[in-house]
Amino acid sequence: MPKFEIMCDSACDLPDYLIEEYDINIIPFYISFDQENYLRERIDITLDEFYDKLYNNFPKTSLPSVQDYINKFTPYAEEGKNLLCITLTSKFSGSYQSAVNAREIILEKYPDFNITILDSRLCTALQGLFVVEVARMKNDGLSLEEALEKIEKIIPTGRIMFTIGTLEYMQKSGRIGKVSAIAGNILNLKPLIVVRDGELFPYGTIRGRKKALKKIIAMTKEHFKKTGEDIDDYNFCIARGHHTDEAEKVADKVRDLGVKGDMPFYQVGSTIGTSCGPDPVGVIFIKNYKYV
């Protein structure tokens, strides 16, 4: 069966060691703290440097351009390779449309180039967890066509249960009003958020960080109780911001639910980190492709 290569925008927030292990080509988003100089995420600025700056500055992010994608696609087209390019949900960004436009341009020169652009309908670590699942399909010998059939079945199974440290950044990014942010911070309210189908859905609020972290574990447990799904059929990771201590505690609690195997930490990148601030923590899971 013809093999295929995988490309993904940096919004997937994959750890470096998984990018290397699964041979995934990353195309970066851009970050600017002065609206003049735009830095390539994870190339010109590390995620830790991003978070260090985030405490005192509110940045702007910018998606990969059409030309960025053309530059990335061209070597694959020249070598006659099959390519699957996976982007951040189009509900959050125009990265998908940039890739689609680049594909149309490059096909004029390389009409036989077999390239598929996939709107993941996912974001941050869930997008990354999904990309790893696709890479496992590839490594297990599935063709691109076979993988695409599995992909459509596993995308809807992905979930993010997360909380953040402060409402300040959501207010600055325009996701909530200033009055709501001020009131929430005064009352020490922590929002509980679920991400499904590429969109953010409020789950509620709870007073205090410790209670919020306990609640996202309860939300995860509740999901599997409600759906009746076997937790062993899912792959998990923990999303974190600048620090690891809380994420480690959350990971231990998730293992107490019966999760076995690896549970890597994914550091939330600039695309979502700009809105969430430096302290997001989340439980992320998606169904193993072998069980769909």
Task: Indicate whether 79 pLDDT > 60.
Answer: yes
194, HSE (Cβ side, Cα atoms, 13 Å): 17
Lowest mean pLDDT among 28-37, 64-73, 177-186, 250-259: 177-186
The residue-averaged pLDDT of 94-112 equals 97
Task: Indicate whether 1 pLDDT > 60.
Answer: no
Give residue 4's pLDDT.
96
Task: Indicate whether 191 pLDDT > 50.
Answer: yes
Lowest mean pLDDT among 10-24, 149-163, 188-202, 244-258: 188-202
Rg (CA), the chain: 19
Sheet with 82-87, edge to edge strand ranges: 24-27, 4-9, 82-87, 115-119
Angle at 271 between CA 284 and CA 253, to 5 degrees: 20
**12 — pLDDT class (breaks 50, 70, 90):** very high
Q: From residue 22, give the alpha-carbon distance in Å to each of 120, 122, 159, 244.
A: 18, 19, 22, 24
Using left for φ > 0, alpha for ψ between -120 and 50, and beta otherwise, residue 136 falls in: alpha
Q: From residue 205, give the alpha-carbon distance in Å to each of 110, 168, 176, 192, 216.
A: 52, 15, 14, 6, 11
- Give the amino acid at 112: D
Task: Indicate whether 188 pLDDT > 80.
Answer: no
Q: Which two tokens stand for residue 25?
A: 């080509």
